[in-house]
Amino acid sequence: MDKIENKHIYLLGFMGCGKSTLGRKLANILDMPFVDTDILVEVKVGMTVSTIFEMLGEAKFRELELEVLAELASDGKIAKVVALGGGTPTLENVWPLLQNSGTTIYLQRTAEQLYDHVRHTDHRPVLKRAERKDLLQHVQNLLHARTPYYARANHTFICDDDWGIDETIERLLKLIEENHENN
Ligand code: S3P
């Protein structure tokens, strides 16, 4: 197991798994800054993620994602809690950056749970590629294709919708503390 102290904590997983919501809370409790790579990209180019996909294309968005991540990874002075985009772990060259600068935690949920979390949102261009009626199938296919990348994380944290946010945070903190004690 690798060390969490003085390193970024990267939260990764599929869209709707709770990276930003949990990350913000976790950062608050751990007294660490929180950043979301989607927001860093948006600030960098002055456009929303949807507009970047529309105007500049997905490939450009992926390039920008990698750029902000490389900047984060090389700035190790202040350890942060970082929520990655759902597609970030699938990018070539991203894993050495993550592994050298922090600990990665995969927030795992089933396709059905994820579908439930994203079905009423409309700000994610990758999900707009499917008709509403085919959305669950689209989530299943994409999750299946991405799981081998997500599984590279140092830790897999299986989220249970029955826990609610406070219990989920408690369990995540326990995972982080246990890992910290083991170092
Ligand atoms: C994407 C996930 C989004 C965002 C972009 C692409 C993906 O982030 O990076 O829309 O390919 O899964 P969230 O996982 O925070 O929604």
Structure confidence at residue 2 (pLDDT): 41
Average pLDDT, the chain: 93
- Mutation pick for ligand 1 pocket among 11, 12, 15 (CB with most ligand atoms within 8 Å): 15
Residues of the chain with pLDDT under 50: 1-4
Please give the Cα distance from 182 to 170 (Å, whole number).
18
Q: Which of 38, 138, 21 is nearest to 85 (CA)?
A: 38
Residue 58 host element (H or E): helix 58-74
For the entire predicted model, the pTM comes to 0.94
What are the structural domains, with CATH classification, of the chain?
A: 8-176 (3.40.50.300)
How far is 89 from 85, CA to CA, in rounded Å? 8
126 lines ligand 1 (CB under 6 A): yes
Task: Name the closest-CA residue to atom 3, ligand 1.
Answer: 85
**Integer Cα distance of 156 and 137 in angstroms:** 23
